[in-house]
Structure 1
Amino acid sequence: MRPEKLVFAFIAVFFAVVTPIYWFMAHEVAGTFVLGFAGVLGAMIAGYLAIAARGFDPRPEDRRDAEVYEGAGEVGFFPPQSAWPIMGALVVTLIFLGPGVEQPWITLVGIGVGIWALSGWVLEYYRGDYQH
């Protein structure tokens, strides 16, 4: 967890430095707030990772004396080919196209297709060749 903690700590420090510079250069409240809040969020995640890392043994990639074979094994489950992400992109396109061309019926069609596409994506592994 050390590399992840350092990445988010760097984000927190970066935004802690950039926020006052932005305030003195732009004098804008909204942007200053957003930059400061991004730094706070980075610090929160870094703190959580630092605390959570104490609760379990370090991964092989976190130890300097680890060997390559210690990290071997199953990496995870990677889904096979699926058409549902493309359907999800089509749904988002339809939903945002409706207000863009001032035709609300296109948004309604997108919501209807979205219910079908979302249920297909969620239930993808409960039917067909890849069910378990």
Structure 2
Amino acid sequence: MRSAWLAKVVLFALTALALSRGGSMASSRISDCPDSPNCVSSLSRDQDHYASPFRVDIAPDEAWAALKRVLGAEPRTRVVEEDKERWYLRAEATSRLFRFVDDVEFQLVPEERLMHVRSASRVGYWDLGVNRRRVERLREALKREGL
């Protein structure tokens, strides 16, 4: 009984946090960027970390399928978490030489016709622009898919 009450309190707090950020629960799933320059996100308020969200001009199911096709074509990238009910997906991209793993997150917000994105290195401080280039490469690939 106590755990059910705690779960309701946590859900209420998360909902309040998402709404206070000016978004919906759907847009609150993507993690924030750290202070280090090895992350870009369409939800960042910091210009150094900001990358534009992907514009979605097709049906949500089509956009989701296109995203999965594009990620499937990315070398050394695999989907590790998918929550289609909340339109959230997380993939891991592994570097060729040192085998560093980067996290790439997507959050589709159908009512805004946007797909938010975040790409971040797990370790290190500098990424030499790898995450920003990845996001822009994915943007171009999704445009070719009709997004």
Q: Please give the range of the TM-score, normalised by the shorter of the 2 chains.
A: under 0.3
Between Structure 1 and Structure 2, the one with more strand by share is 2
- Which has the larger Rg? 1
Higher relative contact order (CA 8 A, sep 6+): 2
Return the TM-score normalized by structure 2.
0.21
Return the TM-score normalized by structure 1.
0.23
Between Structure 1 and Structure 2, the one with more helix by share is 1
